[in-house]
Amino acid sequence: MTDSPTVPRRFPTQKRSEQTVQRILDAAGALLGRIPLEFVTTSRIAKEAGISIGALYRFYPDKQAIFDAVAVRHVQHFQTWLEIGVIQPMERDLKENLGGFNPSTFLANVIDTYIKYLDQNPDFRALALGRLISPGTKERQASPVTGLPALLKSFMLERLRIPNTPELDLMLRVVSEAGERLIAFAYEQPTRAGRDLVIEEMKRMLTGYLFVVPAR
């Protein structure tokens, strides 16, 4: 069992409220990108957003709910990156030559796109690699049914004709969890070259697990 995903106190229904929520999330992201986590408080977020603390609490009960909302927004943005930069080009290639699919290249492109996104978004990097997303929200975003792996699963089912089985869902969960932990380990390396070596090893390991059927 996991905790329920954190949710806002209320959802914006008017343009002014939507703008307030965006200011809160933008402010939290800006602070996460430039100061240590322990100094990111609801008071600082409200001040950065240029709103009162009361206005912030109208929408979010605490900073964890804000962190989760920032993370979910980034996952949605990254999904767009993935669809445009990886999925759509691969689908065009498959229409011409299904037998030409290279799982190693495909998964490497997914991972490289994620690394690029982390590099360009330090606030999301702090949340994801620091394991600062609540268990419930993380579970939802990492689920093959409701989360980012659902995009990969859909591609595998529709384009690669891989059977939809509970084993596939488990494999996607394992790949998601292993990938998250190994990427965090890669970013702990003292040099960029060391980080890249870990990522290349991760690509080989996850490709072999996800796409190669082991001998029985």
pLDDT by position in tens, the chain (length 216) = 345 455 554 555 567 888 999 999 999 999 999 998 889 999 999 999 999 999 999 999 999 999 999 999 999 999 899 889 988 888 787 777 656 677 788 889 999 999 999 999 999 999 988 888 888 888 777 777 767 788 788 878 877 788 899 999 999 999 988 999 999 999 999 999 999 999 999 999 999 998 865 444
Q: How far apart are CA 59 and CA 12, in angstroms?
A: 8
58 falls within a domain: no
Tally of domains within the chain: 1
Tokens of 84: 């445009």
Asked if residues 70 and 127 have their Cβ atoms less than 8 Å apart, the reply is yes
Give me the helices (H) in 83-148, please: 88-96, 103-120, 122-129, 135-141
- Residues near 70 by Cβ (< 8 Å), separated by ≥ 6? 25, 28, 29, 32, 123, 124, 127
Tell me the torsion sign for CA atoms 23, 24, 27, 28.
Answer: negative
CA 65 to chain centre: 16
190 falls within a domain: yes
Domain that holds residue 185: 68-211
17 falls within a domain: no
Q: Amino acid identity, residue 141?
A: Q
104 falls within a domain: yes
